[in-house]
Amino acid sequence: MTVIDLSNMIAGGTTTSHLADFGARVIKVERPDIGDPIRAWGPFKDGESIWWNVLSRNKESITLNLTTTQGQEILKKLIAEADILVESFRAHTLEKWGLDYKTLSNINRSIIVVHISGYGQTGPYSDRPGFGSIAEAMSGFVNANGFPDQSPILPPMPLADELAGTFAAMSILMATYELNKGNSGMGQEIDVSLYEPLFRLLIPNVSQFDQLGILVSRLGNRFPDGAPRNLYISQDGKWIALSANTQGVWEQLAKAIGREDLIIDPRFTTNSQRVTNVEHLDAIIQGWFSSKTISEILDILNRAGAVVFPIYNTDQIMEDPQYNARGNIVDVPHEILGNIKMPSPIPIMSRTPGSVHRPGPILGGDNINVYQEFLGISETDITDWKEKGII
């Protein structure tokens, strides 16, 4: 699979990163002057963006000025040899350049074109610029995130972008399956917005409002449909996550903390009763946590089969035996940094596992490889394009 990546920043970069991890050839097309803006995102070490090196791993970088007629003609040559095109410009930008889906499919009948934009390619907001934080607000996620007596909270990561990128990668696999298994021989156009994937994950919100008039409210670390589920703090000031939403796990927890009486307490007999009386239940559980150190808590609850885990920061993740056993962190050779650790490809596959063979490439570092060897362009033409600012 050959993927032409015209995207900038995170959503499109996430899409093609997933594909590159599992063997797709991803040709990252960047502006000749500054490249993808993510190259300028810190933190940096020895001038190297950590974000860039992880997000653009396994990809090739070429430079191409798509605002020029010749640059657009060169892109058409790439399209003729590719399977997938991913772009994240403002809606309809490709159309303005004469690179609409009909034109591209005439060049390559099987091409799959993925558009990633703030609001999608249609609708009254489609021409607006969009970023992930706006999508997170629009989806309903931010309204539900936080504590009841405090303001809504944006996520501490580009959640909408990374989720849209993951959905886009999934959509490419769906379209590729249809192309290979169907009889049309045609690719298709895929429209991914930043807000819709996150909206889709908020599973009951629309239906519960439609049927019951229930509006989402902020509950902090609690869960509206199950209890107990919260973060609790130990005697020595360590935070621990606990979830006991099923009846069996709840009863194991009650026995483990020496409160078997809670199982038959009418306030806590069923999940719905526990949700109704969650303030009382959390106070009881926190009281037990406050009497013990984190080591004592984990020892008792893990032996009892409760679902519990300490709140990790990255240093603890790096030392954790489960992460280590599953190879979740890999070392990638880097010309300047020596080795750089980063997350391994996910998911883990038995026959065709993913791999990371290179960090994010230098700007235009693969121009000769792609233009000369992949497209068969002469060295003279490549030099001429460079002198004219086309690449």
Give the CATH superfamily of 2-200+337-387: Crotonobetainyl-coa:carnitine coa-transferase; domain 1 (3.40.50.10540)
Q: Identify the bridge partners of residue 189 per DSSP, sorted by sequence position.
A: 113
Q: What is the pLDDT of residues 150-192, one digit of tens each?
A: 999 999 999 999 999 999 999 999 999 999 998 788 999 999 9
Catalytic residue among 21, 161, 282, 366: 161
pLDDT for residue 193: 98
pLDDT for residue 183: 79
What does pLDDT average to in each consecutive run of 10 residues of the chain (391 residues)?
A: 97 98 98 95 95 98 96 97 97 93 97 97 94 96 96 96 98 95 90 98 96 95 94 98 95 96 97 96 98 97 94 97 97 94 97 97 96 94 94 94
| 339 vs 331: CA distance, rounded Å | 6
Please tell me the pTM assigned to this model: 0.94
pLDDT for residue 2: 98
Q: What is the pLDDT of residues 215-238, one digit of tens each?
A: 999 999 999 999 999 999 999 999
Alpha-carbon Rg for the chain in angstroms:
25
Domain 229-310 -> CATH class: alpha beta
pLDDT for residue 94: 94
pLDDT for residue 184: 82
Q: How far is CA 244 from the centre of its chain?
A: 27
Q: Which long-range contacts (CB under 8 A, 24 or more apart) does 327-335 make?
A: 330/356, 332/53, 332/57, 332/356, 332/357, 332/358, 332/359, 333/358, 333/359, 334/48, 334/53, 334/359
Q: What is the DSSP string of 270-336?
A: SHHHHHHTHHHHHHHHHHHHTTS-HHHHHHHHHHHT-EEEEPP-HHHHHH-HHHHHTT-EEEEEETT
Q: What is the DSSP string of 54-68?
A: HHTTTEEEEE--TTS
Helix axis angle, 294-304 relative to 247-256, nearest 10°? 130
pLDDT for residue 325: 98
Select from 99, 65, 321 the least CA-distant residue to 189. Answer: 99
Domain positions in the chain are 2-200+337-387, 229-310
Q: Is 83 a catalytic residue?
A: no
| 138 vs 205: CA distance, rounded Å | 13
